[in-house]
Chain A
Amino acid sequence: MGAIQILRRRHSAGDPVSENDQISTYLDAVGSALQLPRPQRRRAVEEIRNHLDDGATAHMRDGLPRAQAVALAITELGEPEFVAAGFNDEGEHGSEFTGVRRWLPVLVPVCLFTVRASFLAWSAVWILDGWTVGERTAQLHYLLGVALMGLLSYGAYVSVKRSQRDATWRWAAWACAGLALGAVALRAF
């Protein structure tokens, strides 16, 4: 039996249910149905509590007594199981797109970009001692490596951002990471 039905049944049985009891029962039911990490669960419950307070206050302004105002605010929010299910779905969906995992494809080209950029910067020191043909070739190689890895890093970044709205973009992000690794494996850059 849902929390809202329990509260209605207690009401109709003449059991005095205080407004705070109603809110606590509702929030407990939502909290226990939430399958989220503790910080997210705390945030969800806090937002719902604030919503209930705001809703009850608005209904009281419209002339309802507090008990009815709270009951109406609870009904408008929906069954606790329904509310919790929305948050749980969001947690599952969100885990694919948020956190460190989502940025992994960007990490590969960015690391390679950093290494190549360091080599290129170091190669600038050679200028002081004059140039050899081999050094010129190596520096050109570093320059091309920086350009390619920079391009792939940017491509991976844009793809990850777009993947938040369209999951197919994740493939593009991983393709950028794959190309970066492939270029290194082939010793092309």
Chain B
Amino acid sequence: MRADQLRGHVEMLLMAALASGPAHGYALSAELKRRSQGRLALVEGSLYPALHRLEAAGLVGSSDEEMDGRRRRRYELTADGKVALDEEMRSWEQFKSCVDDILREIP
């Protein structure tokens, strides 16, 4: 899967990964790889700006915690984030079924 195909969907994928529970940036990236069975060509450097955007929008919260002598930032989905994820999933389903309908007609 090409990275440009993910444009506009990274936030939804991150929220979906966070729906399982709070996680650090690397754990989120590993979770996305695991769920996509390695097919997702996500450039990991794009994760953090997306997480910060979600945080600025109030959809994701973050807190610092000390781990192995390092300060780590842990992200979690907020109540608004859960609502937004539901909306995104509905919208994605509609988009997917629309594209499927079009592709099905190819002779």
Contact = CB atoms under 8 A, between A and B. Distances in A.
Interface of A: 43-44, 46-48, 50-51, 53-55, 58, 76-79, 82-83, 86-87, 89-90, 93-94, 97-98, 161, 164-165
B52 A90 contact: yes
Interface residues of B, number: 25
B45 A78 contact: yes
Contacts of B30: 58
Interface of B: 24-27, 29-30, 43-50, 52-53, 56-58, 70-73, 80, 84
A89 B72 CA distance: 23
A47 B48 contact: yes
The interface residues of chain B, by DSSP majority, are classed as helix
A78 B26 CA distance: 14
24 contacts: A43-B73, A46-B71, A47-B48, A48-B45, A50-B25, A50-B72, A50-B73, A53-B70, A54-B27, A55-B26, A58-B26, A76-B43, A77-B44, A78-B46, A79-B45, A83-B46, A86-B45, A86-B46, A86-B50, A89-B49, A94-B52, A94-B53, A161-B80, A164-B57
Given A44-B48, A76-B44, A97 B26 contact: no
